[in-house]
Amino acid sequence: MPYAFPDDLLQAQRDWYAAYQQLATTENPSQTTVLRRTLQRLSVRITTHPYWTSIPSHAPAARMALKQQAWEPEQQRRPEEAGS
């Protein structure tokens, strides 16, 4: 089932992945704290996004689809999506 995720929700998931990658590679303790807080803030933004109320019975599948779509490299996204 294809989902039409709002741009801000997709971007939040992409930002979450980027922060997670940075956290995995940083050795600076103060940066670790900042990145952990960033991950928490983004997690809240993603899980409480109003989009989820529009698909209550499909939410678990949609959450996985969001993660998969956000994880795709830029060149694999649809042309209209990659420009956003």
The residue with tokens 């994880």 is 71
- The pLDDT-based confidence of 78 (bands split at 50, 70, 90) is low
* Rounded (to 5) percent helix, strand, coil in the chain: 80, 0, 20
Name the band, by pLDDT with cuts 50, 70 and 90, for residue 58.
Answer: confident
What tens digit of pLDDT does each residue of 5-48 get? 999 999 999 999 999 999 999 999 889 999 999 999 999 999 99
* pTM of structure: 0.81
